[in-house]
Amino acid sequence: MYDRSYWDAYLMARHHVSLVIGVVLMAVVLLSILTGRTLVKFQRIVSRADDPKMFWESVVVDFLLGLVFLGLYFYTAN
């Protein structure tokens, strides 16, 4: 169906990008929690006091994406 070695080689050659994206997303989560403000869908800034549901949804999504990218980095690291 597809050549697995191609995708493995692709991920291995670019695994450092996954680390950078994962670290940036985790930093965004930490800063969002500490400041109480976060960027939602690249449109506006939401405060934890004004809209707590939207704030926590955005923080959780960023956290999960950060975990996925860090997991991908550790999966491809040798």
pLDDT, residue 72, reads: 86
Confidence (pTM) = 0.80
Q: What are phi and psi of 42, to 5 degrees?
A: 55, 30
d(CA 7, CA 78): 16
pLDDT, residue 9, reads: 72
Alpha helix ranges (H) inside the chain? 4-13, 15-35, 52-76
pLDDT digits (tens), the chain, 78 positions: 555 677 667 767 777 888 899 999 999 999 999 999 998 877 789 999 998 999 999 999 999 999 999 998 888 776
pLDDT, residue 6, reads: 73
- Selection from 61, 66, 54, 56 nearest residue 27 by Cα: 66
Which are the contacts of 14, defined by CB distance < 8 A and separation ≥ 6?
Answer: none
